[in-house]
Chain A
Amino acid sequence: MKEYRPILVGTVTKYVFIESSKFTPEELALKAYEISKGMMIKETCFGLQVTGMPEEVNELIGRIREFDPSHIFVKDRGFPPGDPRRCRANLGGARPGFHGHEYEIPLLPYVSHGLETPVERTSEPMKVQRKEKLDIWTLKRKMEEA
């Protein structure tokens, strides 16, 4: 068994997705570099990956969001960018998390629309009613009645 020595301990990595007509990932990356304080920023086809100490990353994310609040989306990432266990440069094929992003990215315009719609103009909030399953006592009663 081999000893495992982690890298970038104490840092956080966040994905920044951009679904905007105002910015491309390239422009956003340039703006992020301008305001970052030596953080690791990686430009991707969908936006950025930002790695650094938690407070610095949160501050940068807050400022990045201001560029286009309803069209910039952020989520945490467990691995740092380029980690050989996840990076497709080493593995080939799509990164496993890509499939989740592939599913959700086409839905982002609907979410952006929801964020831009004033609260007073929104119709009733979504409610999902779960179908009640037939319980065994009801089934038994129905069988006895039949």
Chain B
Amino acid sequence: MAKIFIYPMTSLILSDMVARFGHQPMGSALAIRERIQTPSVESPPLQITPEEPKKGLKYAAVEVPSGVRGRMAIMGPLIEEAEAAIIITDADFAFGCMGCARTNELLKDLVRNRAIPKLELRYPTSEEEGDRFVAAIREFLESLREGG
């Protein structure tokens, strides 16, 4: 079982596909769960304390907004831990109330620069594309299993 970084990190489809084919999806829920289940100082809504933007300095410079660094403190360790990655390139919904465009750019850049197997896809818009979408994920995840 390999740890697969998924982008968008909240994707239902990718999370399900990865788990269905026997691997562990590395989505944002894991990091959020860890934070909200750890006793500390109350800091709603996500238990992001002033410590997180400091930890985010590992991934982004000090002049980068603290929102980006705070997000990177959650998501960066998941990228480091991941053994492979699946990225959906046209996930426009990951920007806006769902997330931060600059963090998303940084996340994708970090993943693309890591020497791990990567698969880039688009969301399916028809049944035929759905077939090709699932086939690509199945082939990618099975190749990871064969590769050990």
A-B interface contact total, Cβ < 8 Å? 154
Specify which chain A residues have a CB less than 8 angstroms from the CB of B8 in the assembled complex: 100
Within 8 A of A (CB), among B33-52: 33, 35-47
Once the chains bind, are A110 and B37 in contact (CB under 8 Å)?
Answer: no
A2 to chain B: closest residue by CB: B42
CB distance from A15 to the nearest CB of B (A): 7
Interface size on A, residues (CB 8 A): 51
B91 to chain A: closest residue by CB: A103
- Which of A28-36, A37-45, A122-130, A138-146 has 4 or more CB atoms under 8 Å from chain B? A122-130
- Please pick, from B12, B89, B94, the residue contacting A15 in the complex, using a CB distance under 8 A: B12
Once the chains bind, are B131 and A85 in contact (CB under 8 Å)?
Answer: no
- Please pick, from B29, B42, B132, the residue contacting A3 in the complex, using a CB distance under 8 A: B42
Indicate whether A92 reaches chain B with its CB closer than 8 angstroms.
no
Provide the A91-106 mask, 1 if CB < 8 A to any CB of B, else 0.
Answer: 0000011011101110
Specify which chain A residues have a CB less than 8 angstroms from the CB of B138 in the assembled complex: 119, 125
CB distance from A2 to the nearest CB of B (A): 4
Complex CA gap A113/B128 in Å reads 8
A4 to chain B: closest residue by CB: B42
Once the chains bind, are B42 and A107 in contact (CB under 8 Å)?
Answer: no
Complex CA gap A113/B131 in Å reads 6
Specify which chain B residues have a CB less than 8 angstroms from the CB of A6 in the assembled complex: 36-39
Complex CA gap A109/B134 in Å reads 12
> What is B's interface to A at a CB cutoff of 8 Å?
8, 10-13, 15-17, 19-20, 25, 27-33, 35-47, 89, 93-94, 96-98, 120-136, 138-139
